Amino acid sequence: MADTSSLTIVIAAFNEQAALPVLHPRLSTVLDGLDLDCRVLYVDDGSKDGTWEVLREIAAADPRVSLLRLARNFGKELALTAGLDQVHTDAAMVLDADGQDPPELIPAFVAKWREGFDVVYGTRSRRDGETWFKRFTAAGFYRVMRWLSQTDIPRDTGDFRLMSSRVLDALRQLRERQRFMKGLFTWVGFRQVSLPYQREARMAGATKFNYWRLWNLALEGITSFSTVPLRLATYVGVFTALVAFGWGLWIIARTVLWGDPVQGWPSLMTVVLFLGGIQLVALGIIGEYLGRLYVESKQRPLYVVSEALGPHAPG
């Protein structure tokens, strides 16, 4: 029985000239074995190495491949958005260019999709080639996120996932600039199912996410899916005010009972500095949200495309 459904594999690549020539043959073998109309869309996220040339060679040799080149490095979230915006097939699948999400698992995702699920997301049961510190911080992030946010973002889940066309349609309506894709993927809802897999080590090249970038991504995730930090300032304020009130009563009582030799400079300094600190933190939190509001209000396009190539490319 021939299946006429179609699938697009979307791959964001930033400086992946070493990994892509290894990935594509692997991917190609898998797609050959699939009973589907398969396409591949590579998004070059403003790479500074030979990624674009490598991609052109791949596209020239494989008619399934289309290319999209962004005008500069917009970051993985926007590169994926740019790619997913171009998908017009029955489903799309997102994959990392470095082979950490093994393409050999695509048939398993497709099988779940055929069972009727709209989103099939890969959950990492093991992470090779990553330091304990990265695993520890990643685990911590997912837990904080679940605690702070109403959207239940599944833990240890990356962008490795398959989405049906109605999920893609829903996703296309979310045009926020501060994008935390894992959150948006979950936010849209529909029938979702997890597929556990072992995350492999990177095939070639180096990770683009250092801890500073990951920290910023974490902030993005928290601020775009939770306003709890804003409320936190209120609670801390109420708590300190109550403590201060109790303490004030005690000082009055002490003065009335035992008189008031001038004392208390150290405690005064402590209180002033403590409150100053809390106020600055609260201001900082407000600033984080305000800054994002500002960026959002400018209504700039999410990304700029410089070139598109291939049979299914736009334009």
- Please report, as ranges, the residues that interact with ligand UDP according to CB under 6 A: 12-14, 16, 45, 73, 75-76, 79, 96-98, 100, 202, 207-209
Q: Which does 117 bind (CB under 5 to 8 A by kind): ligand UDP, Mg ion, none?
A: none
CB 162 within 8 A of CB 91: yes
The nearest distance, CB 148 to ligand UDP, in angstroms, is: 22
Give the span between the Cα atoms of 156 and 127, in whole angstroms. Answer: 10
Is-contact 68 313, C-beta < 8 A?
A: yes
Least spacing, CB of residue 272 vs ligand UDP, in Å = 43
Name the binder of 73 from Mg ion, ligand UDP, none, CB < 5-8 A by kind: ligand UDP
Closer by beta carbon to Mg ion, 45 or else 96 = 96
CB nearer ligand UDP, residue 202 or residue 312: 202
Q: Least CB distance from residue 13 to ligand UDP, whole Å? A: 4
Closest separation between CB of residue 116 and ligand UDP, Å?
A: 29
Determine the Cα–Cα distance for residues 78 and 89; give it in Å rounded to an integer. 20
Q: From ligand UDP, Mg ion, none, which one binds at residue 13 (CB under 5 to 8 Å depending on kind)? A: ligand UDP
Q: Residue 118 or 145: which CB sits closer to ligand UDP?
A: 145
In angstroms, the Cα distances linking 91 to 21, 36, 77, 179, 300 are 25, 11, 19, 21, 28
Q: Which is nearer to ligand UDP, 14 or 141 (CB)?
A: 14
Nearer to ligand UDP, 14 or 197 (CB): 14
Q: Which residue has the tokens 């009972």?
A: 257
Contact residues: Mg ion, CB under 5 A: 96, 98, 100
Nearer CB in complex with Mg ion: 98/159: 98
216 touches which of Mg ion, ligand UDP, none (CB within 5 to 8 A by kind)? none
Which helix (DSSP H) or strand (DSSP E) does residue 167 occupy? Answer: helix 165-172
Q: Tokens for 273, please give them.
A: 């500095």
Q: Which does 239 bind (CB under 5 to 8 A by kind): ligand UDP, Mg ion, none?
A: none
Strand order, beta sheet including 6-13:
192-199, 119-127, 157-164, 91-96, 6-13, 37-44, 65-70, 305-309
Q: Cβ closer to Mg ion: 142 or 289?
A: 142
In the complex, what is the shortest distance from the CB of residue 176 to Mg ion, in angstroms, rounded to a whole number?
Answer: 25
CB of 289 to ligand UDP, least distance (A): 24
**Least distance between ligand UDP and beta carbon 209 (Å):** 5
How many Cβ atoms sit within 10 Å of the Cβ of residue 204?
Answer: 15
CA distance 73 to 68: 13
